[in-house]
Structure 1
Amino acid sequence: MTASDAALAGNPLLTQWTTPFGIPPFESIAPDHYRPAFETALAEQQAQIAAIAGHAEEPTFANTIEVLETSGQALKKVGGVFFNLAGSHTNDAIQAVEREMAPVLAKHRNSIFMNEALYRRVAALYEKRDSLGLSDEQARVLDRYHTIFVRAGAKLGPDDKKRLAAITERLASLGTQFSQNVLADEKSYQLVLDGEADLDGLPSFLREAAAQAAEERGLKGKHVITLSRSSIEPFLQFSKRRDLREQAFKAWASRGDNGDATDNKAIIAETAALRAERAKLLGYETFSAFKLADTMAKTPDNVQKLLNDVWTPAIARAREERDDLQSQAQAVGDNIVIEPWDWRYYADQVRMARHNLDEATIKPYFQLDRIIEASFETAQRLFGLSFEELKDFPRYHPDIRAWQVVDADGNHIGTFIGDYFARPSKRSGAWMSAFRSQERLTGDIRPIIVNVMNFAKGAAGEPSLLSFDDARTLFHEFGHGLHGLLSNVTYPLLAGTAVSTDFVELPSQLYEHWLSQADILRRYAIHYRTGEPLPEDLLERLMAARNFNQGFATVEYLASAFVDLALHRRQDLNNFDVSAFETETLKSIGMPREIIMRHRTPHFTHVFSGDGYSSGYYSYLWSEVLDADAFTAFEETGDAFNRDMADKLKRFIYSAGNLRDPAEAYKAFRGRLPTADALLAKRGLAAVVGDA
């Protein structure tokens, strides 16, 4: 046995896992296990693909599509562990493997979907699809595979295939470097607060979280603000030190844009040019046209119209809000002109004056553990699910938690993992992913779903407290989690969240609505010191203030969506100046000077760390049109937990994966497609449409 054989023999990524519910044996996995495991898994699938493509018999659904669906099991297993940890608990060794493997994995995908013999078999089945006697699900799988092959370049000639393959491999490397650069900037920054003068205005919960962050960074006795959203946003909201607010804000805004080794502007320029070339090779005028052809939106013009329709009332509201903030600053004797680092600070004062409501009053009622329980009870009332916490299971970090999920009949549905706290080894943001997805083709495979957050960890012995926005983020990601947990399909290709980008946010954004239900808040918004529930008058004020600052929130989001769309509609990308383009695009839409994009281009990981949301950041708004209308369906019954509506929601949305075209899925649930009216009402923008 060679040394490499010995390494493979003891590689936990390639063994049968006997852990509870098949949770990966994280404690046994080391970074040097990944590369040999990937190599073995890649070789295994390459052999499987060669066998399918070279099959002597005429293609059938069983000997081509089903075998293709079952190929690559080891690769899914290895990749599921690796890419989850690369985002949530990385290190230098994992990042080195990530950089090395990105083009290798892209090349492997190309070798499958540009395989001419394999495509001929798929195309032959697609041509006679109506005569094959397929079930609806099988027909959907065949249709999706044919679309995937065509969009991957299977129909191109040899030279174009070669160029497209080189482009996709290079894009994979660029995306990996982009996200690692952003993480490096986030990880390296810390604003050290030394003494009471630096802490002026900070409430106790923020001081405690900053002390905890300092201790984790070896600065016990001091306080540290990081570039985690749960750290910097409350600092900008409460700090009376305008100079420190400006310093922290500029660091936050300039991630990936500092002219140093982690600057992302050259990566963006090359990425945009390669994406445009890829689209041209595939017969599309722009990358945006290519990307949107396989979504609900279908065309860039449809997206542009939605953005414009919402921008008009949003910008009118944001200007009103800016004037209110300027008046507030003058009223308290601050002779300043509002800047972006001032917005949250004065907005909190205006909210206090208008609604008698500030974050320091609300936050003690929103304990992380209680909000997790609230999200679970909502799932129980809607879908009959129960959650039993696991105590003894493998962990990749001591902070993660896990639950067994069962249905109303006691059947095991899946396993849910929660990873809630910010740390230097985790990229920013919040997301849902899967270590294993549901399917029935290879057995009764139950999912292992993970939610990853970046909440501030409470001090020793103290609970972690959330803002109302944090609580909404938890519900949002758990909505994605339920989309994965409730998946009920046969074929892996269609499982869970494997739907179009502008439909995937519907289950998550819709789930946010239940956090605002009075009976949920009364039960779970409990003061962490007194144990008292959220007072009725405070609950009323909290609900009344839901649309406060919505002009700002909508404008900062829409600005990012406009820039993403405009960049990917652009055809001339020679000597592309990213900074100038961002500035020009924002000027063209009339972006207020006092607000910046929610995600500036140099750290826009949604769009540039991979293909997921490229030319697709609008998807949150597109899905919000759906979710606002969908929750109205519950409200029309007079019961936010109406059983009949919940059953239809589960059947056609949460458990259906990609069984249907998204528009058909929504119509099956609601009976029709929605308009943007419910969205504007939800954001409190409907009243200003006529004034704008």
Structure 2
Amino acid sequence: MTGQDSATNPVLAQSDLPYELPDFASISDDDFLPAFTAAMASHLAEVEAIAADPAEPTFANTVEALELSGRDLARASGIFFNLVGPDTNPKRNEISQELSTLLTDHGNTIAMNPVLFGRISELASRADELDLTEPQRRLLDKRYRESVRAGAGLPDAEQEEMRQIASRLAYLTTTFSQKILDDTNSSAVLVDDAADLDGLSSGQIAAARRAAADAGHDSGHLLTLELPTSQSVLTELTNPAVRQRVFDASVNRCSRGNDHDTRDLVLEIVRLRARRAELLGYRDHAEFVIAEQTAPDPSAVDDLLRELNESAMRAGGRELTRLTEFAGDAEIGPADLTFWLEREKQAKASVPLDGFADYCELDTVLTRGVFHAANKLYGLQFVERTGLPVYHPDVRVWEVRDDTGTGIGLFLGDFYARPSKRGGAWMNNIVDQSSVLQTQPIIVNVLNLTKPDEGQPCLLSIDQLTTLFHEFGHALHGLLSSVEYPSQSGTSVPRDFVEFPSQVNEMWALHPEVLANYALHHATGEPIPAELAAAARESAGAETAHGTIEYLAASSLDLAWHRLTVEEAAAVTDVEAFEAKALSEAGLQTDLIPPRYRSAYFNHIFGGGYSAGYYSYIWSEVLDAETEQWFLASGGLERDNGRRFAEATLSRGDSVDPLVSHEALIGRKPRIEPLLRRRGLAA
């Protein structure tokens, strides 16, 4: 199959597999571009018919018709963009680069269609007269704003400039992400002497040897890099020189002057975003972005970060004083800080924590922990399905059923790292839930755990355990969606609200009832000792100032780049100098703790959808901390609590105002004090 015949293209074919799961086995990379070409053409024909409708515009014949158009394009996008993140290759990278501009131009053609925009504008002007439901009113408002923000209301010359900016940004951000993956792979640290890996487990050492062999090295061990600045192996490696090598490799990614250097991309992206904001009447890109979020304006975000920055730096000073005393004569540099934090944590623990992972085998945690909590709260059942086509042999599939045994969707788990997968962890949706379309969700969770040797267990650290529960919180947001329109489904909420449900789900990772159900020794099956379980909970609850500072530094850096006006952005020519100045002005300049992501590899904001929005995690954590208190005060892991949370948040997507719904759940507006107590920042 070459993909040249659109009528039989397997990407566009209606799947007869359960829940319309794509038949990945029948699809080749050569099928994608022909599929997208055909899908975009058919979508434009549908849109032109909507615009040309001689009848007076109504919600049904304009907004709803537009919402339900482009189903072939949605199908193709759900398949292809699910593949590019977890399992890319040179061909897919090439296709992604071409599609980035084609799809952007396609979207702008629709958004700027003058006749269609006229119909939408007319409906928006008399929205109060139309007797719309809340989801319909929100959909109308969103479609109108999307067109305006694309430039539909601008003069022709400025519309053309907006098109060019959008197309160029699509190309640059896609290139940025690809360069990060390439340089992260090429920056992996080869260690010749196995003795230099002291501190790592036998499983980690075996994985490093396997990585070296896979990369073509005849000997040695390869320490691959994770996406954030902080590398988990730095907490374990006892050799300071090796720690320094790994740290330097991490912090210098994409700024080494090689083919993967992204600093020129950063500068161009920032300047184009500033110009787009100016054309639309905004002061800067942050104002443009935050206008669509739950935060009222950039000043409100600045105020939150300023309060947290000051508290975190005070806590950081206390932490460093304590740690310096603990380390004695040992020198503590930025490559050593997390190592000594881990040593201090273990020394303070009532029992040694190094055996905790033995009770956290991936499959057991997943089935008896993650799925168990979802069953207790939401009545969900998970039945593994074998024999269904998947996009990589490591991917597993579960059918998700409600408490009546009725199937509601599919959950795919893709847990192991590989060179073709970008770093980090995330949730994808291949198919959106929609009652109008009669579609049920297909949700994917992607992690980057080290794959064990055949017959060996995959054991999770506390951080990895938390990540597993976090990403499944996103999955629940998609699986429990119950909305009419696909664009309001699941996680299609404001960016600074999207992390809220996932952060709430983290609370069950070490909850006594959940932990007791899954924490069985991988070799003996013995339950975790009570004192080790208590020590793990105490350890996980002790948020380090280091972790808070590196996150806040990245958030402040994001806003600093995106508060630049056109003139200010043009004046910036040195990425590192700008970083230093921005962190100093935020009160976060420290030689010991770099940002969680430096600009050159900050994929969230220069390659993903979090530009001027990385603050979302801490903004959502205000809601999360309040909601955790609500759950615990209401009895914890109870079905009625899950039902109420699902009805207020998980099922609603963007069909209602998420903040209003949350306030109704907890009975008041959220307060910051629970967050400050959780992070050890309370006065």
Query: TM-score range with shorter-chain normalisation?
Result: over 0.9
The 5-angstrom pairing of residues 34-49 of structure 1 reads 34-49=32-47
How far apart in 1 are the matches of 2:262 and 2:228?
24
Q: Which moved more, 1:407-416 or 1:22-31?
A: 22-31
Quick check: 1:236 aligned with 2:234? Answer: yes
How far apart in 2 are the matches of 1:311 and 1:235?
27
Query: Which letter maps to 1:159?
Result: A
The 5-angstrom pairing of residues 270-419 of structure 1 reads 270-330=268-328, 333-334=329-330, 336=331, 338-356=332-350, 360-373=354-367, 374-419=369-414
Q: Displacement, 1:219?
A: 4.8
Q: Displacement, 1:287?
A: 0.8
Instruction: Give the ranges of 4+ consecutive aligned residues of structure 1 lying more than 4 Å apart after TM superposition.
Output: 3-6, 218-222, 229-232, 356-359
Quick check: 1:661 aligned with 2:657? Answer: yes
**Structure 1 equivalent of residue 72 of structure 2:** 74
1:103 to 92, 101, 104: 101
How far apart in 2 are the matches of 1:682 and 1:526?
28
How far apart in 1 are the matches of 2:582 and 2:340?
27
Is the Cα–Cα contact under 8 Å of residues 351 and 548 in structure 1 kept in the other structure? no
How far apart in 2 are the matches of 1:642 and 1:237?
37
The secondary structure found in structure 2 opposite 1:453 is strand
**Structure 1 equivalent of residue 509 of structure 2:** 515
Quick check: 1:474 aligned with 2:468? Answer: yes
Q: Displacement, 1:566?
A: 1.2
How far apart in 1 are the matches of 2:649 and 2:199?
45
Query: Which letter maps to 1:213?
Result: A
Q: Residue deviations 1:562-616, cap 9 Å, x none?
A: 0101111112111422211101112221332111111111111110014x11000
Q: Residue deviations 1:69-120, cap 9 Å, x none?
A: 1111011111111111111100000001111111111000100111111011
Q: Displacement, 1:169?
A: 0.6
1:579 to 563, 576, 579: 576
Q: Displacement, 1:313?
A: 1.9
How far apart in 2 are the matches of 1:219 and 1:92?
22
**Structure 1 equivalent of residue 679 of structure 2:** 683
Q: Displacement, 1:210?
A: 2.2
**Structure 2 equivalent of residue 538 of structure 1:** 532
Per the normalisation by structure 2, the TM-score is 0.96
Q: Assess, with a 3 A threshold, how the Cα gap between structure 1 residues 511 and 54 changes in structure 2: closer, same or farther.
A: same
Quick check: 1:158 aligned with 2:156? Answer: yes
Q: Residue deviations 1:625-671, cap 9 Å, x none?
A: 0010011111112x212333322210110000111122212112222
**Structure 1 equivalent of residue 417 of structure 2:** 422
2:15 to 17, 27, 30: 17
Q: Which moved more, 1:350-359 or 1:264-273?
A: 350-359
Q: Which moved more, 1:264-273 or 1:219-228?
A: 219-228
Q: Which moved more, 1:135-144 or 1:70-79?
A: 135-144
2:627 to 609, 627, 630: 630
How far apart in 1 are the matches of 2:417 and 2:616?
26
1:674 to 647, 670, 677: 670
Query: Which letter maps to 1:635?
Result: L
Per the normalisation by structure 1, the TM-score is 0.95
The secondary structure found in structure 1 opposite 2:231 is helix
Structure 2 gap segments, 5+ residues each = none
Percent identity of paired positions between Structure 1 and Structure 2: 40
Q: Assess, with a 3 A threshold, how the Cα gap between structure 1 residues 175 and 164 changes in structure 2: closer, same or farther.
A: same
**Structure 2 equivalent of residue 259 of structure 1:** 257
Q: Displacement, 1:9?
A: 4.3
Q: Which moved more, 1:481-490 or 1:583-592?
A: 583-592
Q: Which moved more, 1:116-125 or 1:202-211?
A: 202-211
How far apart in 2 are the matches of 1:134 and 1:481?
30
Query: Which letter maps to 2:401?
Result: V
Q: Displacement, 1:213?
A: 2.8
Q: Which moved more, 1:196-205 or 1:284-293?
A: 196-205
Q: Assess, with a 3 A threshold, how the Cα gap between structure 1 residues 650 and 549 changes in structure 2: closer, same or farther.
A: closer
**Structure 1 equivalent of residue 137 of structure 2:** 139
Q: Assess, with a 3 A threshold, how the Cα gap between structure 1 residues 664 and 231 changes in structure 2: closer, same or farther.
A: closer
How far apart in 2 are the matches of 1:228 and 1:32?
31
Q: Residue deviations 1:35-70, cap 9 Å, x none?
A: 111100010101111111111111011111111011
Q: Displacement, 1:143?
A: 1.7
Q: Displacement, 1:230?
A: 10
Q: Displacement, 1:299?
A: 0.8
Q: Displacement, 1:262?
A: 0.9
**Structure 2 equivalent of residue 524 of structure 1:** 518
Q: Displacement, 1:685?
A: 2.2
Is the Cα–Cα contact under 8 Å of residues 353 and 532 in structure 2 kept in the other structure? no
How far apart in 1 are the matches of 2:428 and 2:325?
45
Query: Which letter maps to 1:632?
Result: Q
Q: Displacement, 1:6?
A: 5.2
How far apart in 2 are the matches of 1:508 and 1:193?
37
Query: Which letter maps to 1:108?
Result: H
2:441 to 447, 464, 485: 447
How far apart in 1 are the matches of 2:422 and 2:501?
23
How far apart in 1 are the matches of 2:57 and 2:291?
28
How far apart in 2 are the matches of 1:66 and 1:287?
30
Structure 1 gap segments, 5+ residues each = none
**Structure 1 equivalent of residue 169 of structure 2:** 171
How far apart in 2 are the matches of 1:222 and 1:406?
47
Q: Displacement, 1:434?
A: 0.5
Q: Which moved more, 1:144-153 or 1:622-631?
A: 144-153
Query: Which letter maps to 1:551?
Result: A
Is the Cα–Cα contact under 8 Å of residues 347 and 549 in structure 1 kept in the other structure? no
Q: Displacement, 1:339?
A: 1.0
How far apart in 2 are the matches of 1:548 and 1:304?
26
1:563 to 557, 566, 571: 557
**Structure 1 equivalent of residue 643 of structure 2:** 647
Is the Cα–Cα contact under 8 Å of residues 19 and 394 in structure 1 kept in the other structure? no
Q: CA RMSD in A?
A: 1.8
Is the Cα–Cα contact under 8 Å of residues 88 and 420 in structure 2 kept in the other structure? yes
Q: Residue deviations 1:273-296, cap 9 Å, x none?
A: 110110111111111111101111
How far apart in 2 are the matches of 1:55 and 1:495?
28
How far apart in 1 are the matches of 2:186 and 2:363?
30
